[in-house]
């Protein structure tokens, strides 16, 4: 029941070849792992750079939005003042027209009493020739 073929586990030549294969495979695996770590390190560096660029872009956009908001608030404030002034002047004009109408009745003479333009009576109907917005507001 003996075997004529040599036992390969006990053969020193086979063990040396197996050890050499294991050693080469271990070196190859280490090199592959090293390349993988380097690739991941580079990807991480690229992502960190992209985050920095995006944060800078975001900061610039935020500054632009803040500036536009500041200008909008400033313009809105100026528009409020102008609307109040227009309203006050319209009231003065109505009052003066009322005085002229009384003077006309008392004197019996026809006076040229100007009519108040629709744009002053209805300021929301004012046409904006300089710039039309999507909302139709000035």
The full DSSP string for 50-109 is HHHHHHHHHHHHHHHHHHHHHHHHHHHHHHHHHHHHHHHHHHHHHHHHHHHHHHHHHH--
- 3-class secondary structure, 27: helix
> Using an 8 Å Cβ cutoff, are 116 and 90 in contact?
yes
pLDDT greater than 90 at residue 128: no
**DSSP letter (8 states) at residue 2:** -
User: What pLDDT, in 10s, does the model give residues 97-114?
Assistant: 888 888 888 888 887 777
Rounded Cα distance between 98 and 81, Å, is 26
Q: Which long-range contacts (C-beta less than 8 Å, at least 24 apart) are formed by 130-135?
A: none
User: What pLDDT, in 10s, does the model give residues 18-60?
Assistant: 999 999 999 999 999 999 999 999 999 999 999 999 999 999 9
**pTM (two decimals):** 0.53
pLDDT greater than 90 at residue 134: no
Q: Please list, in sequence order, all residues whose beta carbon lies within 8 angstroms of the beta carbon of residue 100, skipping any fewer than 6 positions away.
A: 111, 113
């Amino acid at each position: 029941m003996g075997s004529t073929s040599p036992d390969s586990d006990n053969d020193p030549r086979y063990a040396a070849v197996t050890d050499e294969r294991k050693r080469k495979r271990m070196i190859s695996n280490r090199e592959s792992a090293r390349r993988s770590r380097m690739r991941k390190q580079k990807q991480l560096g690229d992502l960190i750079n992209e985050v920095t660029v995006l944060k800078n872009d975001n900061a610039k956009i935020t500054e632009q939005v803040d500036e536009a908001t500041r200008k909008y608030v400033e313009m809105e404030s100026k528009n409020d003042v102008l609307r109040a002034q227009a309203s006050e002047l319209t009231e003065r004009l109505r009052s003066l027209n009322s005085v002229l109408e009384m003077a006309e009745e008392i004197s019996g003479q026809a006076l040229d009493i100007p009519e108040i333009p629709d744009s002053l009576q209805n300021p929301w109907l004012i046409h904006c020739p300089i710039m039309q917005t999507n909302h139709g507001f000035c």
